[in-house]
Amino acid sequence: MPQTITEKIIAKHCGKEEVSPGELVNIDLDVILAHEVTTPPAISALERNGIDQVFDPDKIVVTPDHFVPNKDEKTAELAKRLRDWVKKHKIKNYYEIGRHGICHTILIENGHVLPGMTVVAGDSHTCTHGVVGAFGMGIGSTELAAAIATGKSWFIVPETIKVEINGELGKGVYSKDVMLQILSKLGVDGATDKVIEYVGSTIDAMEVEDRVVLTNMAVEAGATLGIINPDKKTIKYVEQRSNKKYDLVKSDADAKFSSHKKFDVSSLEPMVAVPSLPSNGKTVSKVKDVKVDQAVVGSCTNGRIGDLREAAAVLKGNEVHKDVRMIVIPATTKIYKQALREGLLEQFIDANATVSTPTCGPCLGGHMGVLAEGERCIASTNRNFVGRMGHPKSEVYLASPATVAASAIDGKVADPRKYL
């Protein structure tokens, strides 16, 4: 029977020749990714139940990321519980502050996730890992506890939606704009319990790190996973980061999809998702002139080196508006250092933006840029829900790093193309 890449990965991890949507499976996990918000409750759940077992310490990758460096005593306690557990179980893959970063970016950057693997984490954006052709699934803390103890996770094999994207992106238009356009068509529950498999010439032309935006925000349409069949670029990318063997699987040409959606992005304009759903995408021309108080470049969606380069290119020769706080947050320590080496951090500071150590921080209203009542932020992050970045009467607009930078210069939502 023809299979999708997702079905092939699932089948291999539950000892079957093939699987079909709707089938219950219990899969073997290759990687469990852990951070300080959802893992300590999982550790507590294990302790409460008298289970002091980690299925395989070498398959667990840990970094504190949401509230780090610790923002207060309570979050310090969470990070400490995580660190103590890492030591107790001799988990080697631990990224302490100074080596840390946002967990999904860390995992990909260091080659912990490879094509054909299975990954779970207590984090909804675990769907990101489909970018290298792996199966990644977000789970809650109780389920994470079970996964840590048993190395397995149960679920019903999901159907797959094929999203085909064709056309060459214009100047100033990026993968974020493509994703906001897709979300505006699929809606926030258009892919619930399903996988989104991205194909098409636009995907082929994108670099791996730009594709991340598409797999990362698949959950914003409710998807279990966003996935892209590995190609030459994927292979080069992962082999630069790992010398481990991996299983290269791809969808069969005649694999079955529950639906097939086509997008032509050749005339796509920069997009902005207005409050309070990521599916509220509009072209920048329809939103421009909305005043902003803060502009954030960062997050597991758009905090990579390419994102920083794109924002810096817009800022070049310009300054952040006097009424705007622009905050740039490289997603990991390695990206931070690379940006330093390339002179990007100096460019940001010269333009009156501030640069933070890697953290999820303001994306979820944690710290490093929380909004007051009535304030508005344009951000390269992934969610613009009510109160997402702070006060319930503050607002978040989602956009590409370039659009965020252009808006920071103008003090209002702006089209980046005039600065390129």
Q: What is the contact surface with other proteins in residues (CB under 8 A)?
A: 24, 37-38, 40-41, 44-45, 48-49, 51, 66-67, 72, 74-75, 77-78, 121-124, 126, 138-143, 145-146, 149-150, 154-156, 188-189, 192-193, 222, 224, 277, 364-366, 370, 383, 385-388, 392
When the beta carbons of 14 and 188 are compared against other proteins, the nearer one is 188
Q: What is the 3-state secondary structure (H, E, C) of the chain?
A: CCCCHHHHHHHHCCCCCCCCCCCEEEEECCEEEECCCCHHHHHHHHHHCCCCCCCCHHHEEECCCCCCCCCCHHHHHHHHHHHHHHHHCCCCEECCCCCCECHHHHHHHCCCCCCCCEEEECCHHHHHHHHHCCEEEECCHHHHHHHHHHCEEEEECCEEEEEEEECCCCCCCCHHHHHHHHHHHHCCCCCCCEEEEEECHHHHHCCHHHHHHHHHHHHHHCCCEEEECCCHHHHHHHHCCCCCCCCCCCCCCCCCCCEEEEEECCCCCCEEECCCCCCCEEEHHHHCCCECCEEEECHHHHCCHHHHHHHHHHHCCCCCCCCCEEEECCCEHHHHHHHHHCCHHHHHHHCCCEECCCCCHHHHCCCCCCECCCCEEEECCCCCCCCCCECCCCEEEECCHHHHHHHHHHCECCCHHHHC
When the beta carbons of 188 and 290 are compared against other proteins, the nearer one is 188
Least distance CB 83 / other proteins (angstroms): 16
CA distance 136 to 126: 5
When the beta carbons of 202 and 380 are compared against other proteins, the nearer one is 380
Least distance CB 366 / other proteins (angstroms): 6
When the beta carbons of 2 and 374 are compared against other proteins, the nearer one is 374
Least distance CB 292 / other proteins (angstroms): 20
Least distance CB 188 / other proteins (angstroms): 6
When the beta carbons of 140 and 343 are compared against other proteins, the nearer one is 140
Least distance CB 410 / other proteins (angstroms): 28
Least distance CB 108 / other proteins (angstroms): 18
Least distance CB 47 / other proteins (angstroms): 11
When the beta carbons of 10 and 345 are compared against other proteins, the nearer one is 10
When the beta carbons of 44 and 266 are compared against other proteins, the nearer one is 44
When the beta carbons of 138 and 230 are compared against other proteins, the nearer one is 138
Least distance CB 276 / other proteins (angstroms): 8
When the beta carbons of 136 and 416 are compared against other proteins, the nearer one is 136
Identify the sign of the CA torsion 35, 208, 278, 154. negative
Least distance CB 217 / other proteins (angstroms): 12
CA distance 332 to 207: 19
